[in-house]
Amino acid sequence: MGAGKTTGARAAAAALGVRALDTDRELEQRLGTTIEDYFASHGERAFREAEEDLVAEVLEAPPAPVISLGGGSIGSSRVRELLAKHTVVMLDVDEDTAWRRAGGKRRPLARDRERFAALHAERAPLYESLADAVLLDGGAETVRRAAGALREIPAGVKVLWAVAGTAQYPVYVGDVLDGRWRPVAGRTFAITDETVARLHALPGAEATLTMPPGEAAKTLATAERLLRELAAAGMAHDDHVAAVGGGVVGDVAGFCAAVYQRGVGVVQVPTTLVAQVDSAYGGKTGVDLPEGKNYVGAYHQPRAVLADPRTLATLPEPELAAGWAEVVKTALIAGGPLWARVRRGDAAVDRDLVLACARTKLAVVATDERDSGRRQVLNLGHTVGHAIETATAYARYRHGEAVGLGLLAALTLSGQPELRGEVAELLAARGLPTALDPAVDHDAVLAAVQRDKKRRSGRVGFVIVEAPGDVRTGVPVAEGDVRAALEGLR
Ligand SMILES: NC(=O)c1ccc[n+]([C@@H]2O[C@H](COP(=O)([O-])OP(=O)(O)OC[C@H]3O[C@@H](n4cnc5c(N)ncnc54)[C@H](O)[C@@H]3O)[C@@H](O)[C@H]2O)c1
């Protein structure tokens, strides 16, 4: 209720040049009265039976290619089974917005706020499990832009439709690297690292350029070499780069795409857990300077993201563990079912986990593409984490390992000893460090914290956790407290 299904279906149908049908309106015509009146005179059960019959009929032999379904119709197992042969699109809407649009009106199930909230929470997992595609912003304009892509979703793949500023793009999660299917037109110039090149080729690329693996290669020198190789290979403005690899490749290749001929498209094809749950989304690209991590870069939203969790099968265990630190970070930001899953110790890395993490990040980016506010929650654990990486010349810790340590410092600064203890256990269970190498110079880490890119007006704002799902940004912290948090990493 209140998600905008009727308007969305009309917008999709208009974009595709076909007809839309709304099962609620159709039902009212059949019943010869409004849903509200039928509900009142016959009760919910009779209404649900009539609804089930009509929706089943429509799904068996669709009279129109785009159908908006009554919100409660998926309560019927018969309807759910019939949906299997259709593409199901979910318009994501938070409960507040839905209530603002639908609440307090004549709709029988939207009169009481508490009942409405309970229904929203109860139906959400059902919608999610049925959806082939989730539109993070379900406005009519978004639906119109997404409609073409939603027409072709390969089997075994789910789609998140991301919105960031004026950019919109599909994120495909699942068996995406089967065959030669590519969602973006034009020639593909793949950039990968030498390790990934041996394991996961992207079929159909015009040329494949490689860089050395690892953070040490995330430099302007590497970017310059790749840019010159792209030029030598004849890449033109309507071609695109595909970044096939972990976060390092994604950042460097994305940066090359951002600046090559003042910007060409990039498709992110993440092959590490860090990249699939975090770095491939949101459009931050760049390289490191000796003075600071990610000090040079550009926002450059991808044209599409292709995340295939099967590529993680070749990932060495320590890299998988490093990705887990980002999963824990994301779960702390999301709270709810994702945090519940992570704290249960469920270590499976599957399509649902990647989807849940990607969705959390994309929902944040949708509200603040350029880090001016809400997006800073994504830096949870990163202020100290990045400083540790910088102070150790990017050589001692993997990014994810440093983020794990940064998370523990952030939880100390948040005054959350119990949660810190729990997170330390979750990290340790994956073999991640929970103590800082005694050889690391705390003064160097503190100096790097002071140079943090997120510093504004001379102050570094920290990201603080009030509770899982409740994360605050820009909290000033005294240097002595940061030092104490570092000393606590023992
Ligand atoms: N842009 C963003 O929003 C963002 C967010 C988080 C992290 N990052 C960046 O991401 C980087 C870290 O990413 P990462 O942890 O993926 O590191 P990475 O790219 O260095 O990959 C880690 C290692 O795994 C190897 N590898 C990659 N895929 C593999 C596979 N499928 N099988 C076997 N080996 C494979 C790589 O060759 C590399 O040696 C950091 O530079 C960080 O700053 C960026």
Query: Span 361-377, mean pLDDT?
Result: 86
Residue nearest to atom 12 of ligand 1 (CA): 247
Query: Span 292-319, mean pLDDT?
Result: 95
Centroid of ligand 1 to alpha carbon of 68 (angstroms): 40
pLDDT at 457 over 70: no
Residue nearest to atom 44 of ligand 1 (CA): 279
Pairing of strands 167-174, 157-164: antiparallel
pLDDT at 453 over 70: no
Atom of ligand 1 nearest to the CA of 194: 37
pLDDT at 256 over 70: yes
Atom of ligand 1 nearest to the CA of 293: 43
Centroid of ligand 1 to alpha carbon of 129 (angstroms): 29
Residue nearest to atom 4 of ligand 1 (CA): 279
pLDDT at 303 over 80: yes
What per-residue confidence (pLDDT) applies to 418? 97
What per-residue confidence (pLDDT) applies to 345? 87
Between CA 129 and CA 59 the distance in angstroms is 18
At 119-147, the pLDDT tens digits run 888 888 889 899 999 998 878 899 999 99
Centroid of ligand 1 to alpha carbon of 195 (angstroms): 11
pLDDT at 292 over 90: no
Total number of residues shown for the chain: 490
Between CA 35 and CA 114 the distance in angstroms is 21
pLDDT at 104 over 70: no
DSSP state of 281: S
Record the tokens describing residue 451, joined without a space. 């140079």
Between CA 292 and CA 11 the distance in angstroms is 46
Return phi, psi of residue 285, to 5°: -135, 160
Atom of ligand 1 nearest to the CA of 254: 1
Centroid of ligand 1 to alpha carbon of 219 (angstroms): 14
Q: Are 257 and 234 in contact (CB under 8 A)?
A: no
DSSP state of 465: E
Between CA 9 and CA 138 the distance in angstroms is 10
Atom of ligand 1 nearest to the CA of 195: 37
Centroid of ligand 1 to alpha carbon of 22 (angstroms): 45
Name the pLDDT band for 368 (thresholds 50, 70, 90): confident
What is the best residue among 195, 281, 287, 371 to mutate for testing ligand 1's pocket, by most ligand atoms within 8 Å of CB? 195
Name the pLDDT band for 455 (thresholds 50, 70, 90): low
Name the pLDDT band for 367 (thresholds 50, 70, 90): confident
What is the best residue among 251, 386, 403 to mutate for testing ligand 1's pocket, by most ligand atoms within 8 Å of CB? 251
DSSP three-state, residue 30: helix
Between CA 368 and CA 386 the distance in angstroms is 21
Atom of ligand 1 nearest to the CA of 273: 16
Centroid of ligand 1 to alpha carbon of 270 (angstroms): 8
Atom of ligand 1 nearest to the CA of 286: 1
DSSP state of 71: T
DSSP track, 298-335: EE---SEEEE-GGGGGGS-HHHHHHHHHHHHHHHHHH-
Query: Which residue is it, tokens 């023992």?
Result: 490
User: Among 31-45, 210-224, 241-255, which is the least confidently predicted range?
Assistant: 31-45
Atom of ligand 1 nearest to the CA of 322: 15
Rounding to the nearest 10 degrees, give the CA dihedral for residues 143, 92, 277, 446.
110
Centroid of ligand 1 to alpha carbon of 250 (angstroms): 8
At 417-451, the pLDDT tens digits run 999 999 999 999 999 999 999 999 999 999 999 88
Between CA 126 and CA 124 the distance in angstroms is 5
Centroid of ligand 1 to alpha carbon of 8 (angstroms): 37
Atom of ligand 1 nearest to the CA of 248: 19
Distance between alpha carbon 322 and the CA centroid of its chain, in Å? 18
Between CA 127 and CA 219 the distance in angstroms is 43
Residue nearest to atom 9 of ligand 1 (CA): 247
Centroid of ligand 1 to alpha carbon of 73 (angstroms): 43
DSSP three-state, residue 151: coil
What per-residue confidence (pLDDT) applies to 456? 64
DSSP track, 66-116: EEEPPTTGGGSHHHHHHHTTS--EEE---HHHHHHHHTTSS-TTSSSHHHH
Between CA 437 and CA 427 the distance in angstroms is 16
Record the tokens describing residue 456, joined without a space. 């504004």
DSSP state of 460: P
Residue nearest to atom 3 of ligand 1 (CA): 279
What per-residue confidence (pLDDT) applies to 106? 66
DSSP three-state, residue 67: strand
Which are the contacts of 425, defined by CB distance < 8 A and separation ≥ 6?
Answer: none
Pairing of strands 304-307, 265-270: parallel
First to last CA, the chain: 51
Name the pLDDT band for 414 (thresholds 50, 70, 90): very high
Q: Are 143 and 8 in contact (CB under 8 A)?
A: yes
Which are the contacts of 89, defined by CB distance < 8 A and separation ≥ 6?
Answer: 8, 12, 131, 132, 133, 134, 135, 150
Centroid of ligand 1 to alpha carbon of 402 (angstroms): 13
Between CA 393 and CA 313 the distance in angstroms is 29
Atom of ligand 1 nearest to the CA of 284: 1
Residue nearest to atom 11 of ligand 1 (CA): 247
Centroid of ligand 1 to alpha carbon of 437 (angstroms): 22
Q: Which residues surround ligand 1 with Cβ inside 6 Å?
A: 193, 195-196, 199-200, 213-215, 218, 245-249, 251, 271-272, 274-275, 278-279, 282, 284, 294, 311, 314-315, 319, 322, 398-400
E-only strand ranges, 377-416? none
Q: How far is CA 469 from CA 49, 159, 331, 332, 472, in A?
A: 38, 24, 8, 6, 10
77-81, 149-153, 290-294, range with greatest mean pLDDT: 77-81
What is the best residue among 288, 296, 300, 319 to mutate for testing ligand 1's pocket, by most ligand atoms within 8 Å of CB? 319
- In the chain, the percentage of residues whose pLDDT exceeds 90 is 75
Burial group, residue 211, by CB count within 10 angstroms (0-12, 13-18, 19+): buried
Q: Is the pTM of this model over 0.95?
A: no
Closest CA to 116 of 128, 93, 97, 99: 99
Q: Are 314 and 199 in contact (CB under 8 A)?
A: yes
Burial group, residue 166, by CB count within 10 angstroms (0-12, 13-18, 19+): exposed
User: Among 258-267, 398-407, 447-456, which is the least confidently predicted range?
Assistant: 447-456
Atom of ligand 1 nearest to the CA of 311: 31
Centroid of ligand 1 to alpha carbon of 443 (angstroms): 27
Q: How far is CA 419 from CA 132, 343, 345, in A?
A: 35, 10, 14
